[in-house]
Structure 1
Amino acid sequence: MAKNLILLGLPGAGKGTQADFIVKDYPVVHISTGDIFRTNLANNTELGQKAREFMDAGDLVPDEITNAMVADRLSQSDVEEAGFMLDGYPRNEAQAEFLDSYLSDNNQAVSATLYFEVSDSLLRQRLLGRGRADDTPEVIDNRLAVNKAANLPLVDYYQRAGVLHTIDGGRQLADVYRDVKEVLDNLD
């Protein structure tokens, strides 16, 4: 049975690194919402054009456009065969509800949500260590606060759904991935 996974965690928690490990060992399609947006914008799709209007104005792209882009990507044959790993979506409870409804309509469900939990101090250290010009302590603290406000309700949502697996992302990469594999290997 195909695995349908969601990766949650604050910036610097290691989602991308763990996603790279997962796709090497499991037949899932890694879907980043950033990639979906870039593809729709580059191909000038109808959804991409709608998204660009909001982005050019400096506004967040509304859920209905984001949801439509994700649904379109999830309907493609590679995902139907292998399952998916979503990174960067859902970003709020309304998107999570849309995803559940979409999957239910297609006789699917979320197999597991992996939440990579890392202390604020270690996240700050990791983000400052990236060396990006915009990664100042003030910007990082704001980014973490904004992401906490979005992520914590999703953690609760998937906890209530019974598919949340909290993983200590503050350890060595191999130790984190060992826990990820244990979760994935025990899915039905």
Structure 2
Amino acid sequence: MNLLIMGLPGAGKGTQAAKIVEEFGVAHISTGDMFRAAMANKTEMGVLAKSYIDKGELVPDEVTNGIVKERLAESDIAEKGFLLDGYPRTIEQAYALDETLKALGLKLDGVINIEVNPDSLVERLSGRIIHKETGETFHKVFNPPVGDYNEDDYYQREDDKPETVKRRLDVNIAQGAPIIEHYRKAGIVSDIQGNQEIDAVFADIEKAIAAMK
């Protein structure tokens, strides 16, 4: 079973990816892990990626695509299948993935698309507050400080402020839309409602995967 999981930041993609890997025994291929492994193993693409990272530059698409191809060519993929997580991030990378899979004699069986209302994600992602003295982290909604608390004693990181979170989500939505559309045309997208309990989301994912077989 070869899968791709998609979803906005805060939609629970990481949690569900871990559950899919545990339940179905597929190889979890996340961008960060791939880069770290390629650089540690000093593969051709790993060495190239490190040369950009060491200079503080963005790794070009052709290098990222090359690292993905190296990983998908490894022997465990043919045995277990894979779950791609965090790639492709752009429509150009999606086209490159199509070519890579074709060249390796593989195919994508399905795309798990976890849908959550962006407004609820802003609340979820921008609620983090940090106590100025202790550095302890809380969440205004899901894990507030006990009792009445003075907001002046807490601060928010720039990344956690609602306007920053909304901008990040808007970028993700704009980048993700053409990728989802690309796979919809292939008829392999399963939309999963993410505004549910974790186990209920996973139950829907299991049903979607069963329908792919």
Q: Please say whether Structure 1 and Structure 2 have the same fold, judged by a TM-score greater than 0.5.
A: yes
After superposition, the Cα gap between the structure-2 partners of 1:57 and 1:170, relative to the gap in structure 1 and judged at 3 Å, is: farther
Question: Which residue in the other structure is 1:102 paired with?
Answer: 100
Could you tell me which of 59, 62, 84 is aligned with 1:61? 59
Q: Distance in 1 between matches of 2:127 and 2:14?
A: 16
Question: Which residue in the other structure is 1:77 paired with?
Answer: 75
TM-score norm. by structure 1 comes to 0.90
Q: Distance in 1 between matches of 2:9 and 2:173?
A: 10
Question: Which residue in the other structure is 1:135 paired with?
Answer: 160
Structure 1 position 139, deviation (Å)? 2.0
Q: Larger deviation: 103-112 or 11-20?
A: 103-112
Could you tell me which of 169, 172, 186 is aligned with 1:161? 186
Larger C-alpha radius of gyration, 1 or 2? 2
Q: Larger deviation: 67-76 or 43-52?
A: 43-52
Q: Distance in 2 between matches of 1:8 and 1:61?
A: 21
Q: Distance in 1 between matches of 2:182 and 2:102?
A: 16
Identify the structure with bigger relative contact order (alpha carbons < 8 Å, sequence gap 6+).
Answer: 1
The answer to whether the aligner puts 1:174 opposite 2:199 as a matched pair is yes
Runs of 4+ in 1 over 6 A off after TM superposition: none
Q: Larger deviation: 111-120 or 54-63?
A: 54-63
After superposition, the Cα gap between the structure-2 partners of 1:58 and 1:148, relative to the gap in structure 1 and judged at 3 Å, is: farther
Aligned letter for 1:184?
A: I
Q: Larger deviation: 31-40 or 63-72?
A: 31-40
> Where in structure 2 are there 5+ consecutive unaligned residues?
129-136, 138-155
Question: Which residue in the other structure is 1:38 paired with?
Answer: 36
Partner of 2:212: helix, strand, or coil? Answer: coil
Q: Residue deviations 1:145-174, cap 9 Å, x none?
A: 111111111110110111111111111111
Paired residues in the alignment total 186
Aligned letter for 1:122?
A: S
Is this contact kept in 1: 2:73–2:104, CA < 8 A? no
Q: Residue deviations 1:27-64, cap 9 Å, x none?
A: 21111011111223344444233223433454432111
TM-score norm. by structure 2 comes to 0.80
Q: Distance in 1 between matches of 2:15 and 2:112?
A: 13
The answer to whether the aligner puts 1:186 opposite 2:211 as a matched pair is yes
After superposition, the Cα gap between the structure-2 partners of 1:60 and 1:148, relative to the gap in structure 1 and judged at 3 Å, is: farther
Q: Distance in 1 between matches of 2:47 and 2:56?
A: 14
Partner of 2:200: helix, strand, or coil? Answer: helix
Partner of 1:170: helix, strand, or coil? Answer: coil
Structure 1 position 129, deviation (Å)? 4.3
Aligned letter for 2:175?
A: A
Q: Distance in 1 between matches of 2:3 and 2:127?
A: 28
Q: Distance in 2 between matches of 1:112 and 1:25?
A: 16
Q: Distance in 1 between matches of 2:51 and 2:123?
A: 35
Partner of 1:186: helix, strand, or coil? Answer: helix
Could you tell me which of 20, 23, 26 is aligned with 1:22? 20
